[in-house]
Structure 1
Amino acid sequence: MFNPQLTAFLCAADCGSFNKAADQLYISPTAVMKQINGLEKHLGLALVKRTNQGIELTRAGESIYRDTRYMIAYSEQAIQKARQLMTEEQEVLRVGTSMLNPCKVFMDLWYRTSSRFPQYKLQIVPFEDDHQGILSVIDRIGDSYDFIVGVCDSAKWLDRYSFLALGEYRKMIAVPLKHRLAKKHSLRISDLYGETMMMVKRGDSALNDRLRDDLEQNHPRIRLEDTPQFYDIDVFNQCVENNHLLLNLECWKDIHPSLITLPVEWGYSIPYGLLYSKKPEGCVKAFLEAVKDEGMIG
C-alpha cells in the first residue's frame, strides 16, 4: 500500500546504510539514494544525514519514520479486518462425516462444481455413528449440517429429510476372516445355508424387508438374527465375536479389519445420495441444482 520511496527510506533507516538497504531491496545503492532524494524533494524535508559510518535520521526523518511505521501497522490491521469481513460474508456449506457416512462422495461432487461457487466455503463436521443416537444427528440436518452423504431406505430417515439419490450400492455379506466362507471370492445364496446371518430387523426399510421375505420364504435354512435398525461399529464387532455373517454394503467393505465383504449372486442393492433439509435454501439449493445440471445423478 506504500510507494517505493517510503519503502527505501524505511529500509535505509533500519539498516543505517544505503549499501545494506540496497542488498535487502535487491537494487543498487544509487537507486536507494534516488528513491530517498525523491521522497525528500516531494515532502520538502531533509530526512537523512550522511556520515562516515552511513546515514542518520534528522529530527524530521525520525518523525516521518515513526509515523510511517504506525501507518503501516494500521494499514495491515485494516487489510486483516477487510479480509475477515470478506470471509464472514462467504456462505458456508457444512457437510457431516462419520465412519459409516463418509463425505468423500460429496467432496467428489464439490470438486466438479465448486468453480461455480467462489463465494462458498466448505466446512467438514464430524459426528459419531451410534444406532441409538443417529436420529438425533439426522434431526440436526439444516442446523448443524447442510448435507450428509448416506445410504437410505429408512422410513424414519425419509420422514425427517429430503434425499437426492446419486447411485446404488450392492448388498453384500460380511464374513469373519476365520469363517469357512472367507476364502471364497463370491457367494451363492446356498452357501449361506446352515449359517446365522445378521440383518436389520423388519419394519423400517422396504428393501431390507423384501430381502428378508425372500430369505424366509425361499431359503429357510438360513437363520436370521436381528440387528438394530441402524448399524454402528458394535454391530460389526458382534459379527466377528459370534462368527456370524452380516448383511453389509459394498461401501462398508473396509469398515472392520477382521471382516471380508463378499458379493452375493442376488440383485439386491440400496440407493445412496445426499441427505438435506426438507426446505433447502440459499447455497444448499444452488448446490443441488448444480449437481443436477452436471448430470451427476445416478
Structure 2
Amino acid sequence: MLEQLNTFIQVVESGSFSKAAEKLFISPTAVMKQMNLLEKHVGMPLLIRTNHGIELTKAGKSFIKDATFMVQYFEEALLRMRQFVQANQLVIRVGTSMLNPCKVLLDMWNEVSNQFPQFKINIVHFEDDSHTLPTTYRTIGKNYDFIVGPIHTENLKEYFQVLELGTNRFCFALSRNHRLASKKTISVNDLYGEELAVVNGGGSAVIDEIRDFMIKNHPKIRIKDIPRLYDIDIFNRCEESGVVLLTLDVWADIHPSLVTIPSDLDFAIPYGLMYPLYPSEDANQFLEIIKEIRSQQN
C-alpha cells in the first residue's frame, strides 16, 4: 500500500505515467498497475487518463492531501523508531583473532539478528601472541564481552565462564614440502621418526592425554614440548623447521605454507564462548539468546 501511495504522489507531481516511471525507475506499465490496484483498494477512481497525461478526479483531489500526509507520517514514524532503537541499543563487543575467529558466533547471530534490533555487534581485534594472550583471557569483560574459540587454556578458566558450542578435532600441520603432505589422513604410525611439536602452555587435560598416549604407545615419535599457548609464531616456526605440529581442524587455513591433515587420533577439544564470570546485563541478555539458539540446534 505504501508503494502505491508513493507512486500515486509521483504520478500527480509528474503529470503522467511515463514521467513518473522515469523518476521511480520502473516501467510505465508497472505504474499503471499500481494505480489500478490503488483505485481498486479505495473503491473509486482517482485519476482521469487523457492523451495529454492525467488529471485528478474530485476524489483524487481530496485523497492526494491525505496520501501525502500518510507517507510523510510513516517516514517520520520510521525515523522515530530508528532513533529510539539507536538510543537504546545494546552494544556487544566480540573479540576476534586468527586463532579465535568470531565467525561461528556471527553465523549463529545473523540467523536471528532481525528479531533483536536492539543489539549491535562490535568486532574487536586482538593479537595471537603467547605473551599477551593470558592477559587477554584474564580480562574478558573489560575489552570484550565474548571471545569464541577452542577451550584449550584450562589454567585460565578461573577467569571466565564457558558456553560450549561444539568440538574441534585434532590434526597434524606440516610443511607443504614434507614427505607426508600429500596424504589425506595421517595416522600416528606415519609419524615414526618425526618430531612432533606439542603446545601445552594452557594446562589442557586433553593435550596432556595425547602427549602421554604418544610417549607410552609410540616412542618412535620424538615429542617436542612447547610450554606456551598456541600463537601465530608457533605455526611459523614449524613451517621453517619442518617439525610436525599437533593442531586443530579449525586452524586449517592459518598458515599458507602449511597443510593441515586430519589425524586418526580419537581426541577432540571443545570450542565455545568465553565470557566474564560476572557478565553485564546486556551481555547476559545476549548470552540467553545464544543459549536458546544452541538448544534449538540440539
Note whether the superposition's TM-score is higher than 0.5.
yes
Deviation at 1:280, TM superposition (A): 2.3
Query: What is the rounded CA distance, in whole Å, between the counterparts of 2:297 and 2:126 in structure 1?
Result: 26
Could you list the per-position Cα deviations for residues 225-269 of structure 1 after superposition, in whole angstroms to 9, with x for gaps in the alignment? 122421111111100110110001000011111111111112011
Amino acid of the residue matched to residue 288 of structure 2? E
Amino acid of the residue matched to residue 178 of structure 1? N
User: Larger Rg: 1 or 2?
Assistant: 1
Q: 1:97·1:125 contact (CA, 8 Å) conserved in 2?
A: yes
Amino acid of the residue matched to residue 174 of structure 1? A
Which secondary structure does the structure 1 equivalent of 2:223 belong to? strand
1:166 aligns with 2:165: yes
| Matched residue, 2:246 | 247
Counterparts of 1:76-155 in structure 2, within 5 Å, are 86-155=85-154
| Matched residue, 2:71 | none
| Matched residue, 1:278 | 277
Gaps of 5+ in 2: 1-8, 24-30, 32-46, 48-52, 57-74
RMSD: 3.6
Q: 2:194·2:244 contact (CA, 8 Å) conserved in 1?
A: yes
Which secondary structure does the structure 2 equivalent of 1:288 belong to? helix
Query: What is the rounded CA distance, in whole Å, between the counterparts of 1:83 and 1:296 in structure 2?
Result: 30
| Matched residue, 1:190 | 189
Deviation at 1:160, TM superposition (A): 1.1
| Matched residue, 2:213 | 214
Query: What is the rounded CA distance, in whole Å, between the counterparts of 1:246 and 1:181 in structure 2?
Result: 13
Query: What is the rounded CA distance, in whole Å, between the counterparts of 2:84 and 2:114 in structure 1?
Result: 22
Task: Report which stretch shifted further, 241-250 or 285-294.
Answer: 285-294
| Matched residue, 2:40 | none
Amino acid of the residue matched to residue 225 of structure 1? K
Counterparts of 1:280-295 in structure 2, within 5 Å, are 280-294=279-293, 295=295
Could you list the per-position Cα deviations for residues 170-198 of structure 1 after superposition, in whole angstroms to 9, with x for gaps in the alignment? 01100111111111111111111111111
Task: Report which stretch shifted further, 103-112 or 163-172.
Answer: 103-112
Amino acid of the residue matched to residue 194 of structure 1? G
Q: 1:197·1:246 contact (CA, 8 Å) conserved in 2?
A: yes
TM-score normalised by length of structure 2? 0.71
Q: 1:125·1:145 contact (CA, 8 Å) conserved in 2?
A: yes
| Matched residue, 2:200 | 201
Deviation at 1:216, TM superposition (A): 1.2
Gaps of 5+ in 1: 1-7, 13-17, 32-75
Query: What is the rounded CA distance, in whole Å, between the counterparts of 2:280 and 2:233 in structure 1?
Result: 36
Query: What is the rounded CA distance, in whole Å, between the counterparts of 2:125 and 2:200 in structure 1?
Result: 27
State, as a whole percentage, how many aligned pairs show the same letter: 42
Could you list the per-position Cα deviations for residues 125-170 of structure 1 after superposition, in whole angstroms to 9, with x for gaps in the alignment? 1111111101222233212111111101312331210011111110
Q: 1:152·1:271 contact (CA, 8 Å) conserved in 2?
A: yes
Q: 1:172·1:247 contact (CA, 8 Å) conserved in 2?
A: yes
**1:196–1:119 CA distance, 2 compared to 1 (3 A):** same
Query: What is the rounded CA distance, in whole Å, between the counterparts of 1:279 and 1:142 in structure 2?
Result: 8
Q: 1:167·1:297 contact (CA, 8 Å) conserved in 2?
A: no
Task: Report which stretch shifted further, 179-188 or 287-296.
Answer: 287-296
**1:296–1:100 CA distance, 2 compared to 1 (3 A):** farther
TM-score normalised by length of structure 1? 0.71
Query: What is the rounded CA distance, in whole Å, between the counterparts of 2:297 and 2:254 in structure 1?
Result: 25
Which secondary structure does the structure 2 equivalent of 1:207 belong to? helix
Query: What is the rounded CA distance, in whole Å, between the counterparts of 1:230 and 1:265 in structure 2?
Result: 23
Q: 2:201·2:226 contact (CA, 8 Å) conserved in 1?
A: no
